[in-house]
A and B are shown apart, each in its own frame.
Chain A
Amino acid sequence: EAQVTQNPRYLITVTGKKLTVTCSQNMNHEYMSWYRQDPGLGLRQIYYSMNVEVTDKGDVPEGYKVSRKEKRNFPLILESPSPNQTSLYFCASSPWDRNQPQHFGDGTRLSIL
């Protein structure tokens, strides 16, 4: 089954404790992206990657890092999480062709205390 898998689905942690949210896709997609979803603000792009070792900032990259060492994986790293990063996070992937829909994972709910 074609899917985007995120882990963990839920995480409660404390300020300053480094965490990584993993994302993996099995569709051989070149393009991957991270979004955060907040009430009233909708989905906003954090970082994206057009292929292995190619990443770029989205609209709200501050406080986040990403890496793309393999085509299927695109982890999101919070080196020193803060409460304003409490949010619902989604990973998405698509073929490189820009006129293709992105496929989303089921989300990761992060709470930073």
Chain B
Amino acid sequence: GESVGLHLPTLSVQEGDNSIINCAYSNSASDYFIWYKQESGKGPQFIIDIRSNMDKRQGQRVTVLLNKTVKHLSLQIAATQPGDSAVYFCAENRRGRSGGGNKLTFGTGTQLKVEL
């Protein structure tokens, strides 16, 4: 499959452990944030999102935390499984030039490796 990036930060975890992937965003005016998962040879897949009026949001085995004070976002994956191995991107949503729609700015990603 295609490589989605060279020299990505890598997080290695044991199967069954919890994973925490961090992301710093740049624009204090961003008000919507998304985590994506990208497996080799595939497009980014939506995991979870959070709006800026929230600090925490939970999904199935995943939790996103937002700290607006320090412009930091994290993704927590509980009981990490081999199928979680992928590159994870955070994205912040800024208003497009025409005033609506979505203009996503992506981080460069973190490679998660799950060891058996």
Contact = CB atoms under 8 A, between A and B. Distances in A.
Interface residues on B, range: 20 to 34
Interface residues on A, range: 20 to 34
B102 A42 contact: no
A80 interface: no
Contacts of A52: none
Interface string A21-59: 000000000110100010111111100101000101110
A74 interface: no
Nearest to A9: B41
Q: Is the interface of B mostly helix, strand, loop or mixed?
A: loop
A88 interface: yes
A28 to B, nearest CB: 15
Contacts, number: 87
B102 A98 contact: yes
A39 B101 contact: no
Interface string B29-49: 001101010000111111001
Contact of B43 (A31, A56, A106): A106
Contacts of B34: 101-102
Contact of B5 (A40, A50, A57): A40
A65 interface: no
B7 interface: yes
Contacts of A75: none
Interface string B1-42: 011111100000000000000000000000110101000011
Interface of A: 4, 30-31, 33, 37, 39-45, 48, 50, 54, 56-58, 88, 90, 92, 94, 96, 98-107, 109
The 10 A-B residue pairs with the shortest CB-CB distance in the complex, in nearest-first order: A104-B43, A39-B6, A43-B106, A42-B108, A101-B46, A50-B101, A31-B101, A99-B32, A104-B44, A42-B106
Given A90-B43, A96-B100, A101-B46, 18 more contacts: A4-B43, A30-B101, A31-B101, A33-B102, A42-B5, A42-B89, A42-B109, A43-B89, A44-B106, A45-B104, A92-B43, A96-B101, A98-B100, A99-B93, A105-B43, A106-B41, A106-B42, A107-B2
